[in-house]
Amino acid sequence: MSISISSHQQIRRRAYEIFLERRDAGRKGDALTDWLEAEQEIRRQRIPVRARILHFADLPLNLTGLMPRSPHLARIRNPIRQPA
């Protein structure tokens, strides 16, 4: 799975924050583990958002107020769009 440029920047920023936290706490680690931890955090934050979006995709549409376009309306020209 590829990540977007904005995700890459967020992960990079968070990995640096993790590095600073790790350094200040005197914990051992390396840049790769910081990166993987940051990536996991960012992806976990995005999953609930995607789940909410997908939830809306399953909702039934209520189109009772819409009527099919009448064939005679197709012949009426929009005066605003006519060339001068």
Q: Give tens-digit pLDDT for 17-74.
A: 999 999 999 999 999 999 999 999 998 887 665 665 666 666 666 656 555 566 565 5
Query: For residues 38 and 11, is the Cβ–Cβ distance under 8 A?
Result: yes
Q: How far apart are CA 12 and CA 15, in angstroms?
A: 5
Confidence (pTM): 0.52
Q: How far apart are CA 10 and CA 18, in angstroms?
A: 12
